[in-house]
Amino acid sequence: MNDISKYIKNNKISVIVKPNSRKTEILGFNDEKNAFKVAISEPAENNKANKELIRFISKLLKRKVLIEKGEKSMEKVLRIY
């Protein structure tokens, strides 16, 4: 499941974030929303979960990642550079 690179379309990938989790990890893929479910160990306040998400996905893909849509939402679109 860690090979998410094949799910990148037009340098974008959709994720559904679950903050305040025990550890940061990919939980699976939501076929209905065509998005990865990602558990994030950081809380949502003060942008901590977003920073952890970017760090985690960047490390996984070994590429730069930014949040394109959904900064304040659990459903996000990430742009991969």
Percent of the chain with pLDDT over 90: 89
CATH of the domain at 48: 3.30.1200.10
What is the span of the domain harbouring residue 49? 4-80
The candidate with the shortest Cα–Cα distance to 74, out of 9, 30, 22, is: 30
Residue 49 to residue 7: CA distance in whole angstroms:
22
Would you state the pLDDT for residue 4? 81
* pTM score of the predicted model: 0.92
Would you state the pLDDT for residue 5? 80
Would you state the pLDDT for residue 3? 72
- What is the total count of domains within the chain? 1
Would you state the pLDDT for residue 2? 58
Residues sharing a CB contact under 8 Å with residue 66, sequence separation 6 or more, in sequence order = 54, 78, 79, 81
Low-confidence ranges of the chain (pLDDT < 70): 1-2
